[in-house]
Amino acid sequence: MSASVNVRYMVNDVDDAVAWYTQHLGFTQLSNHAPAFA
């Protein structure tokens, strides 16, 4: 069984944060609401 969760963090650079979580930790980005919620 797999589950999906929503994660929200306040960061200074959204692109850098997305790169870190996807490239280094293997997370998958399912949506991106930038710049409205950046």
pLDDT in tens, 28-37: 888 887 777 6
Query: Per residue in 10-32, is it b (16+ CB within 10 Å) or e — as a string?
Result: eeeeeeeeeeebeeeeeeeeeee
Q: How far is 20 from 16, CA to CA, in rounded Å? A: 6
The model carries a pTM of: 0.64
Q: How far is 21 from 27, CA to CA, in rounded Å? A: 6
| pLDDT tens digits for range 1-38 | 678 777 778 888 888 988 999 999 999 888 887 777 65
Q: Would you state the pLDDT for residue 31?
A: 82
Q: Would you state the pLDDT for residue 19?
A: 94
The structural domains of the chain, with segments of one domain joined by +, span 1-38
Q: How far is 9 from 11, CA to CA, in rounded Å? A: 6
Q: Would you state the pLDDT for residue 1?
A: 67
Distance, CA of 6 to chain centre? 9
